[in-house]
Every structure is written in structure tokens, then in C-alpha cells.
Structure 1
Amino acid sequence: MSSPGPVDRGRLFDRINWALDNRWLSNGGPLALEFEGRIAELAGVRNCVSACNATVGLQLLCQAAELTGEVIMPSLTFVATAHAVRWIGLDPVFVDIDPLTGQVDPACVAEAIGPRTSAILAVHLWGRACPAEELEKIAAAHGLPLFFDSAHAIGCTAGGRPIGGFGTAEVFSFHATKVVNGFEGGAIVTDDDAFAQRLRSLQNFGIGLPPGGSPAGGTNGKMSEASAAMALTSLDAFEQAVECNRANFETYLTELAATPGIFVMPHDRRESNNYQYLIVELDEDLTGLGRDLLIELLRAENVVAKPYFSPACHQLEPYASRQPVRLPHTERLASRVLALPTGSSVSRESIRRICDVIRLAVAKGPEVTARRQKG
């Protein structure tokens, strides 16, 4: 699990007090607009439309594009990716991943395109860039809009380009657990000026849309000034948070390097990374220990580890029974990965202790498993 980065409380309270003094608490206030400008610059795009959260941001995307029918997406993602589109009447179509990277497989995306496909929604999983340029080519060849759930990927790059400028638009999350957080929050970034204006209208009850401009009408998806104050203050500390996460990653990598069957998921050193998630893959054949049992052992030592993301979306309801599908690479990786604690509240010494527990568990893997099976 990642934890939010450091926050200058004095600066946060200054911003909130400014909003209170000026009595502008929502509806595109100065703090929200400032935040949008800074995120657009970080993402290398002309437009940023803030939102109350990333799930609403994804829904605004779909409504602004007037999507119908099916949206292709990977199943190895947080279930909000799928729920966001299903909630507004679209059908998610799940596809498999590249077993080496965990990212959506472009070949599977191309194969899944059918007469009801209205868009491709890719995911930069765990902040690692998916094959965005390959997906752009597939989308262009089929005349489909391409969107990205970039919830984990603020400040990251793909092929040297900032994540945020691929496809038609991308969505960032600024949930409390993210490296930049606004308590709750999200943002849509795009270089399409007309699309951005449409998004602004839709997230403000449809105000400003021409007559008949959207079958959806509009909703209230705006970011409040309180969230913007927190997000700006968190953004001020972004570089510090990334450096902390990077140091944590290096410590885990060193501590677990010689542990058989435990693999710290790597980052592409040629790219910019925010190191927000510390993901470990466990090979049960080598450790004699299942992923879920390891999580249980860690929790017994007050270490909060979680399966990210397991079960995969297609294995969860309402999708498993309504549109059953087999995605072998997704299912295999989803059963093997877990997220370990990182972030500014996790010390190097804590990481070493966590790794001590993991090494001990792996060393006694078959024995621990046998005891569990006996009950």
C-alpha cells in the first residue's frame, strides 16, 4: 500500500483560509484553476479539467465522447475502471495482458474490436506505462477514440513523453492514497480544446452546452476549493514524495534480491517514474507459499499488504456471471502479486523488518503451508 506524501499543513491552512475569506468554495474557484494549470503543465497538454474524483472523470470522458455499446479495457485494474463505464450503461469488454509486463496486450485489444466497440480504455498499471503508442496506432486504424485510466501515473513518462498526452484524453486520480492527493479528486487532461470545453460543461450540470449538445445532460463533477487546496499543497511536495518512494523501492529491491521466488516489479529506468506502488510477484512453485498466505502472515506482524489487483475485474461480479471470459495471463498474475507498504510514512528500518518477515516466511514456506492445510 502506498501512503500520501508529505504535506505542509501551514501552507494547506493558508490556502483553505484564503478560500474561506474570499467565500469561493467551489464552481471553478481560483485554487482549482491553479491546480488545473499545474497539472496540465506536468502532463504536457493544453487542457486539464479537474473533477471530484477519477471515477467521475472516466464517466465524463465517456459522456463527452457520447460512447455507446462496448468499451475495451484490461481486466487487471482497479474495479472502478470497469464500474465507471458500466454505471452509465456501457459494456466493458475485458482483454488479457502481456505476461511479462502486466500491461494490456495490444494484440488482444485489436482482436476484441467488434461492431459494438465505441472506444478503447487502456490503463497505465501501477504507474508503469502501457504500450500507448501501439494502442494509438490500433485506435487510429479502426477510427476509435482512445482513453487512458492514468490514476497511478502522474509525473510518469512513456517513450520520453509525459503520460497525459496520449490518445484523446487521460484521467488522473488524486485520491488520499495517491502520491499527489486532494483528499478526493481527479482530473482529465487533453490537447483537444473542444473536448475539454465539452467536459467542463458536462461536469457543471451541462451548463454551456448547445441545445441537444449531450444526451447525458450533465452532472456535478467539480473539484471543491478544499480539495484543490490539498492537491496543490501535495503537488508542492511531489518531487520530495517521488524521491522518498524511489528510495523505498531501492531498499526493497536490495533487501529482496536474493530471496527465491520473490520478484520486485521493476521500473523502466529510462523513463520518469513516481514509484507510487511497490509491487511484488510471488512464485509459489519456488517459495512453497501462496500469495494470500503471505499476506496473512504479514498482517499478523502488523504489516498491511494487499493483492493489487486480485481478483481481476472479469472474476468479480457483476461481470463474472454476466460475461464470463478466460484471461489466463491476467488470472495468473493477479493471483501472484501484492502491494507492500511505501510512501513517506514508511522508514527504511520498517522496510528492512518487512523484508525480514518475507524472507522468514519464504524460508519456511512448505512448512507453513503444510500447517495451514492441517488446520
Structure 2
Amino acid sequence: MTRPPVYVTRPILPPLEDVYSLLQEIWQTRILSNGGPILQRFEAALGQYLGVDHISMVGNASMGLVLALRHHGITGEVITPAFSFVATSHAIRWAGAEPVFADIDPVTLNLDPVEVEKRITSRTQAILAVHCYGTPCDTAGLQRVADRHGLRLIYDAAHAFGVRENGRSICTSGDLSVLSFHATKVFNTFEGGAIISPDRETKLAIDRLGNYGIVDETTVLETGLNTKMSELNAAVGLALLPQMDSAIATRARLANHYSDALGDVPGLRAVCPPGRAGHNYYHFPILVGDGYPISRDALYERLRQDGLFARRYFYPLISDLPMYRDLPSAAPSMLPVARRAANQVLCLPIFPDLDPVDQERIIGIVRQPC
């Protein structure tokens, strides 16, 4: 019998009965949005889980990034990686600013502080960095650059749910961090996200900006947005949160098995180091190099023939897309490391209920693709 297809990820869901009990509360209160009681409980529980004090829920991470940039009044240039999901640069444009691409570190595939500093001009106002695949950026290096030039430092932490560095949440770095709770992420609320603020005053300002700038029934202080998370999405998140330690531990075991099984294959390199404390193993990306018997794209197609759907995250580069390719910083010669990574990267399927039989099928093909 043909096995069902295996995709690069598969969302985890909370027990239906746990969600149902929360839905009963929503039906009783008839409070559906606007920071209702379920959302308030979710916000408190998530803050405790992540180890952060000031957290604001949003409808999705893209809105969160726009809100973070708008909160800091960013309308000039924002230095960001081209090696990311397109939402990162789109948010810069929607906030009224302009992306400037800088190259990435060849090991972590995160924004390189040295390359960032090369792109700074009199119009630069912020850095928007991405913790790619959940691997922390060089937060200290980026902060030094930001401090030297008086720039805001905002993190797209869409991949970094639960990630810790030196015992602290990675989301405490920079001025603001934005998480994604999309269905494809380590933790999901179907759709959703959160902004991590450094203090209560900033959180309240973010909350106000995300509720049209409303202060009270008769007072609107600023041109805000509607970025609120509904009670339904908050209920899903609240019910799912108790499963997360187990889910991340399972991801770690799967990633370590991939690393052990593929570590000696010539021409392959695993991007995320196995056994790293505080990682969440959001993806398992490999780089398919010159020593491998076939190209990255050929391996991608070979896996698809067996119903195994890996993904070329992130290909093409954002800088190659039609709305960005004419930017001076999008020139191929400016982004050699990012371009090489985009042409080599392949994310293998990983999710908590990945069938061991399917993982062995993946490993077998990667080890012997021909």
C-alpha cells in the first residue's frame, strides 16, 4: 500500500476536550475579542512559560512586525536579511520603511553584524534580524552595532518559540521581539503571534497601537491598527501550551537522529547543531554542497517521488523577488553567502508525530539518492 505523503511539517493540536471546555466559557461570556478573559489567561501563562514579563498577543506575526516598527516610528531604512521568509521584508514596506539587505553568517545563516555595519547610512533607523530556524542571532554583536549607530534593534523571532540563550528567553534581546503562532510553527494558535516588550510601559503602548490607538470610549491618541487576537485563537494556545515541553523534546530526538544518521554523508552539513541547549528544532535544514552526488534540487525531486515533501527554505532569496530585486542592496554580488545558502538549503520533514518509518525512508534516500 502506498504510504500517505509526508510534509515538511505538521501542526500539533491540543486535546479537543480541553479546547471544548474553553469554548464553553466563551459561549457563556459572549466575549469574543478585545482582550477577553481567555486571552488574558493565555497571555499570563505564555509569559510564564517563556520567562518574559511583558507580552502582547496579535492576530499574526506579520501584523506584529508592522506594529513593532510603527511603535518606534521607523520610516527610513531597515537593515534585514534576504535569507528569510518574505513576510520580514513585506512588514518593513507595510510599516512605511524600506528594506536594505545585508549578508548572513555562513555557519548560523543569521544576519552578520559585520555586514550590517557596512550597510548603514544616514537614513538607517533600525535593524530587523531573524533567528533563522530557531538558532539565535549574534545578539551581542548586533546590539553593539545598534548602540554604536543609535539604531533600533527588532527581532523577527517567528522561528524561535521557547528558544533560550544563556538561560534566558531569546525574546528578551533587542528593543522588541515578534513571535509567530502560525500553524506551521513549533507552537500554534492556528493563526497568531506575540510581541515581547522590555517593560510594562512599552507593552501598554503596543496594546493601544494594536487596538486602533484607543485609550477609552472617547479618546483615540494615535493612528493605530487592529492586530488583536480572538478568544478562539487564545483558547487553542492556552490548551496547547502544556504539551510544549514534550513536543520540543521529541523534535530534539528526531533532529539528533537525523544528525547521527547523516553526519558522515560527504557534501552535507546540518545547519542546526545537535544537542544545543535551549534550541527548539523548528526545522532540520541541511546544506547540499559540491561533494554530494546530486544537486539540492535533484534531491528535493527524488524525495518528492516517494511522497516526502522537503522544502527549500529559503529559496528564492527575498532580494530576487520582483518587488525587491531593483534595490541596490539586492545585487547578487552583495549577498554571496545568502545566495549560496539559498541554492543549497533543504529542510527535511520534522514534527512531533513523524512516523519513525518515514524518518528512516527520508534518511535512506538522503544517504543514497542514486
TM-score category of the 2 structures, normalised to the smaller one? over 0.9
CA distance in 1 between counterparts of 2:168 and 2:144 reads 16
Check whether the contact 2:108–2:272 (CA below 8 A) recurs between aligned residues: no
Q: Is residue 2:355 matched to residue 1:347?
A: yes
Check whether the contact 1:5–1:237 (CA below 8 A) recurs between aligned residues: no
> Is 347-356 or 37-46 further displaced after alignment?
37-46
Which residue, 79, 90, 104 being the options, matches 1:97? 104
CA distance in 2 between counterparts of 1:344 and 1:44 reads 23
Aligned to 2:322: 317
CA distance in 2 between counterparts of 1:93 and 1:291 reads 28
1:110-149 to 2 correspondences below 5 Å: 110-149=117-156
1:197-216 to 2 correspondences below 5 Å: 197-208=204-215, 213-214=221-222
TM-score by length of 1: 0.91
CA RMSD after TM alignment: 1.7
- SS of equivalent residue, structure 2 residue 368: helix
Q: Is residue 2:38 matched to residue 1:31?
A: yes
Aligned to 1:368: none
Identity over aligned pairs, percent = 36
Check whether the contact 2:191–2:233 (CA below 8 A) recurs between aligned residues: yes
CA distance in 2 between counterparts of 1:259 and 1:252 reads 11
- SS of equivalent residue, structure 2 residue 155: strand
- SS of equivalent residue, structure 1 residue 171: strand
Q: Is residue 2:26 matched to residue 1:16?
A: no
Q: Is residue 2:176 matched to residue 1:177?
A: no
Q: Is residue 2:245 matched to residue 1:239?
A: yes
How far did 1:74 drift? 1.2
1:1-375 to 2 correspondences below 5 Å: 1-208=8-215, 213-214=221-222, 217-267=223-273, 269-283=275-289, 285-323=290-328, 324-325=330-331, 326-361=334-369, 364=370
Spell out, residue by residue over 1:74-129, the C-alpha distance to the aligned partner (whole angstroms, 9 max, x if none).
Answer: 11111100001112321011100111221110011112111111111111000010
* Alignment coverage as a number of residue pairs: 359
How far did 1:212 drift? 8.6
How far did 1:198 drift? 1.4
Instruction: For 2:354, give the aligned amino acid.
Output: V
Instruction: For 1:315, give the aligned amino acid.
Output: D
Check whether the contact 1:43–1:163 (CA below 8 A) recurs between aligned residues: no
Instruction: For 1:341, give the aligned amino acid.
Output: P
Spell out, residue by residue over 1:155-177, the C-alpha distance to the aligned partner (whole angstroms, 9 max, x if none).
Answer: 11123321111111100000011
How far did 1:338 drift? 1.0
TM-score by length of 2: 0.93
Instruction: For 2:17, give the aligned amino acid.
Output: G
> Is 58-67 or 190-199 further displaced after alignment?
190-199
CA distance in 2 between counterparts of 1:82 and 1:234 reads 30
The runs of 4+ residues in structure 1 deviating greater than 4 Å are 209-213
Check whether the contact 1:132–1:158 (CA below 8 A) recurs between aligned residues: no
Change (3 A) 1:254 1:269: closer
- SS of equivalent residue, structure 2 residue 171: coil
> Is 292-301 or 268-277 further displaced after alignment?
268-277
Instruction: For 1:351, give the aligned amino acid.
Output: Q
CA distance in 2 between counterparts of 1:60 and 1:82 reads 14
CA distance in 1 between counterparts of 2:89 and 2:33 reads 28
Spell out, residue by residue over 1:206-237, the C-alpha distance to the aligned partner (whole angstroms, 9 max, x if none).
Answer: 102998954xx011110001111111122121
- SS of equivalent residue, structure 2 residue 78: strand
Check whether the contact 1:51–1:186 (CA below 8 A) recurs between aligned residues: yes
Q: 5+ residue gaps in structure 2?
A: 1-7
How far did 1:151 drift? 0.4
- SS of equivalent residue, structure 1 residue 281: strand
How far did 1:134 drift? 1.5
Instruction: For 2:351, give the aligned amino acid.
Output: G
Q: 5+ residue gaps in structure 1?
A: 365-375
Spell out, residue by residue over 1:258-300, the C-alpha distance to the aligned partner (whole angstroms, 9 max, x if none).
Answer: 32212222337453111121111111x2123111121111111
Aligned to 2:3: none
